[in-house]
Amino acid sequence: MERTLVIVKPDGVQRGLVGTIIGRLEARGLKIVGMKLMQIDRALAERHYAVHKGKPFYEGLLDYITSGPVVVAVLEGPGAIELVRQTMGATRPSAAQPGTIRADYAIDVGRNLVHGSDSPETARFEIGLFFREDELVSWQRDVDRWIYG
Ligand code: IDP
Ligand code: MG
């Protein structure tokens, strides 16, 4: 089993797409093991997006991710990291495949609705940034045997 961090970014919350975005990932078969509404402050944004420091879009990205409440979630499943990335679609919504969240609901790379960890190391780091161990819930779903063969 793998865990990954998902963020419904401020545009997703403002546009009323929390249920749609989390729902698509949930419907795919991923299990929610942590979730909360929060406001990301500058310090947390800088840590989360440290790899992008120095890039032309970095300051704008910090402004965007701190501009309003977000929903952060930890999703679990086999290959969860890649599944979430695939369901989100390409970073640039105009290049994302139809059927992905970013293609179906977004236009602009600066307002692309959703974040998903991009590797096991990143997932571990990001989950640790946003959740304490006691905020994550390990639980059994009866439906698991119909999702994982
Ligand atoms: P990802 O979210 O698909 O992993 P990254 O390359 O890690 O994409 O970039 C992080 C975030 O930075 C993107 O989701 C997007 O919000 C923002 N971003 C990336 N490139 C640009 C850009 O060229 N202009 C504005 N924002 C950008
Ligand atoms: Mg990324």
Q: Give the pair of three-digit tokens for residue 73.
A: 């979630």
Phi and psi for 107 in degrees, rounded to 5?
-125, -40
pLDDT tens-digit series, residues 25-45? 999 999 999 999 999 999 999
pLDDT of residue 42: 98
Ligand 1 atom, smallest distance to 90 CA:
3
Average pLDDT over residues 53-78: 98
pLDDT tens-digit series, residues 116-146? 999 999 999 999 999 999 999 999 999 999 9
Q: Find out whether 94 and 102 touch, Cβ atoms under 8 Å.
A: no
- Give the integer Cα–Cα distance in Å for 36 and 25: 16
Q: In this structure, how many other beta carbons lie within 10 angstroms of the beta carbon of residue 140?
A: 7
pLDDT tens-digit series, residues 13-30? 999 999 999 999 999 999
pLDDT tens-digit series, residues 80-115? 999 999 999 999 999 999 999 999 999 999 999 999
62-83 residues labelled b (16+ CB within 10 A) or e (exposed): bebbbeeebbbbbbbbeebbeb
Q: What is the number of the ligand closest to the CA of 91?
A: 1
pLDDT of residue 115: 99
pLDDT of residue 19: 98
Distance 31 CA to ligand 1 centre (A): 25
pLDDT of residue 149: 86
Instruction: Name residues whose C-beta falls within 8 Å of residue 76's C-beta, 6 or more positions apart in sequence.
Output: 1, 2, 3, 4, 30, 31, 32, 33
Q: Give the pair of three-digit tokens for residue 97.
A: 């495949």
- Annotated catalytic sites, by residue? 115
Q: Which of 62, 112, 113, 117 to mutate to test the pocket of ligand 1 (most atoms within 8 A of CB)?
A: 112
Rounded percentage of the chain residues whose pLDDT exceeds 90? 99
Q: Does pLDDT of 74 surpass 90?
A: yes
Q: Is the dihedral of CA 123, 107, 18, 64 positive or negative?
A: positive
Closest CA to 62 of 107, 14, 54: 54
Ligand 1 atom, smallest distance to 51 CA:
7
Closest CA to 31 of 149, 148, 141, 146: 141
